[in-house]
């Protein structure tokens, strides 16, 4: 199922240099299946011509409030109503000031004032303009009005200065737009996740690790954020793009991951601000007893013995600690098990031992399941003894479905 297919976006383009970058935003939305109608301010057309907007969006450009050919001057009402989401990008300081004060002296601002549904703003301006008290006031007013923001980001600005003010990346704007449109079933909830492998160092150049890519954890984090949850993601070394909106905490070893998770557990269970803990990380079970301070050299010997000791088991410890909490205040606990044969039998034993509410089992010997691929084939075991076999799906789809399953089982807030 393509989320974007049939979605209608009205894109309001302000008059800033970043107007050039919204051409990629239009392309990105259209490629995904959405329809895009562009409304621009007079100043926007100084940067990109109406013809270019028309050509890229495939639809006429809307720039005038008084165009008699467009439904007798009622274009601003129609554009505000007949769309799923209004995105303002780039939102200049001037456009935000007008929005915050309800001005409506051109098509873009009149349409924004007539809008009753969701609006997403992606600002872009010079850092001094962004930090000016007037802009701060306008941002606060717009947030209080329920307008959502995406960015700006920090970096090199077109004016040659450095700082906050860059238009957010196109992918980030599209992902944030999606979150504006998804049902917010997890609004006010907080999920803590682990993902990826851990690395256990042998010497300054070598380590023991595993094939985990982190993709499964990323898929779940994405699904939870789309449903409106706050997400804290403690992850090992992965080669994946950062997820906008997630609080990502990067660690290397199992002991670092353990320390971070336990710290977060203590803080959030004390304030009852943790709703689910989902531990997908492939934590290394063992680490070298000694990390050599220097590179281990080849010797005449043909073997090298490395003594290993057990790492702490994060899931086991969270399962143990959660038992001391009152049932209604216990975060929902999900573990993963990657097995090679007899997966369900081993999974059931693991679930009982680690005291999870759900254990997601996959058999690495099955086609489509495994660490590095894009897909997974899983079976869900729950503490009531139920078993649910899911078909082969992308890791993102498994993540979204798992998030929906957890959402349905959470205690009422």
Residues labelled as active-site residues: 159
- Our CB check for ligand CTP shows the closer of 32 and 321 to be 321
Q: Provide the b/e sequence for 288-322 (b: ≥16 CB within 10 Å).
A: beeeeeeeeeeeeeeeeeeeeeebebbbeebbeeb
In the bound complex, which residue of the shown chain has the CB atom lying closest to ligand CTP? 314
Backbone angles phi, psi at 375, to 5 degrees: -115, 170
Q: How far is the CB of 398 from ligand CTP (least distance, A)?
A: 14
- Our CB check for ligand CTP shows the closer of 177 and 281 to be 281
Provide the token pair at 144: 């209080």
CA-CA distance, 10 to 84, in Å (whole number)?
Answer: 8
**Cα separations in angstroms, 201 against 86, 297, 301, 303:** 50, 15, 22, 19
- Our CB check for ligand CTP shows the closer of 166 and 287 to be 287
- Our CB check for ligand CTP shows the closer of 123 and 214 to be 214
Q: How far is the CB of 269 from ligand CTP (least distance, A)?
A: 17
Query: Widest CA span of the chain, in angstroms?
Result: 90
Q: How far is the CB of 352 from ligand CTP (least distance, A)?
A: 12
Q: How far is the CB of 201 from ligand CTP (least distance, A)?
A: 16
Which chain residues interact with ligand CTP by CB under 6 A? 194, 254, 279-281, 283, 285, 311, 313-315, 335-338, 350
Residue 52 sits at the vertex; the CA angle it makes with 49 and 54, to the nearest 5 degrees, is: 110
Q: How far is the CB of 195 from ligand CTP (least distance, A)?
A: 9
- Our CB check for ligand CTP shows the closer of 61 and 265 to be 265
- Our CB check for ligand CTP shows the closer of 245 and 335 to be 335
Tokens 């606060």 belong to 140
Nearest partner of 409 among 189, 215, 192, 252, judged by Cα: 189
Q: How far is the CB of 109 from ligand CTP (least distance, A)?
A: 51
């Amino acid at each position: 199922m393509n989320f974007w297919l049939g979605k209608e976006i009205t894109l309001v383009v302000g008059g800033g240099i970043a107007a050039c970058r919204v051409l990629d935003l239009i392309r990105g939305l259209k490629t995904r299946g959405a329809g895009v109608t562009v409304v621009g301010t007079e100043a926007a057309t100084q940067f990109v011509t109406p013809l270019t907007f028309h050509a890229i969006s495939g639809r006429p450009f809307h720039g005038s409030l008084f165009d008699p050919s467009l439904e007798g001057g009622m274009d601003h009402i129609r554009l505000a109503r007949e769309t799923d989401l209004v995105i303002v990008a780039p939102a200049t300081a001037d456009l935000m000031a007008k929005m915050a004060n309800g001005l409506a002296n051109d098509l873009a601002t009149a349409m924004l004032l007539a809008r009753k549904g969701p609006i997403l703003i992606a600002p872009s301006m010079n850092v001094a303009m962004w930090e000016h008290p007037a802009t701060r006031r306008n941002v606060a007013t717009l947030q209080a009005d329920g307008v959502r923001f995406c960015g700006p980001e920090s970096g090199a600005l077109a004016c040659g200065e450095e700082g906050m003010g860059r238009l957010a990346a196109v992918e980030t704007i599209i992902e944030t737009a999606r979150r504006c449109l998804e049902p917010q079933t997890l609004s006010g909830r907080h999920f803590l996740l682990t993902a990826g492998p851990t690395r256990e160092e042998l010497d300054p150049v070598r380590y023991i690790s595993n094939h985990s890519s982190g993709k499964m954890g990323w898929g779940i984090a994405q699904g939870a954020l789309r449903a409106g949850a706050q997400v804290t993601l403690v992850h090992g070394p992965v080669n994946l793009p950062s997820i906008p909106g997630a609080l990502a905490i990067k660690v290397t070893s199992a002991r670092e991951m353990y320390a971070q998770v336990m710290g977060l557990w203590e803080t959030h269970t004390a304030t009852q601000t943790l709703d689910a803990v989902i531990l997908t990380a492939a934590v290394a079970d063992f680490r070298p007893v000694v990390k050599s301070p220097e590179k281990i050299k080849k010797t005449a010997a043909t073997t090298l013995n490395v003594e290993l000791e057990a790492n702490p088991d994060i899931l086991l410890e969270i399962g143990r600690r959660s038992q001391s909490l009152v049932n209604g205040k216990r975060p929902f606990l999900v573990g993963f098990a990657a097995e090679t044969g007899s997966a369900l039998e081993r999974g059931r034993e693991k679930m009982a031992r680690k005291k999870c509410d759900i254990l997601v089992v996959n058999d690495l010997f099955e086609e489509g399941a495994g660490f590095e691929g894009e897909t997974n084939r899983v079976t869900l075991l729950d503490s009531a003894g139920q078993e649910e076999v899911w078909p082969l799906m992308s890791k993102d789809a498994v993540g979204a479905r798992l998030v929906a399953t957890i959402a349905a089982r959470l205690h009422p807030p």
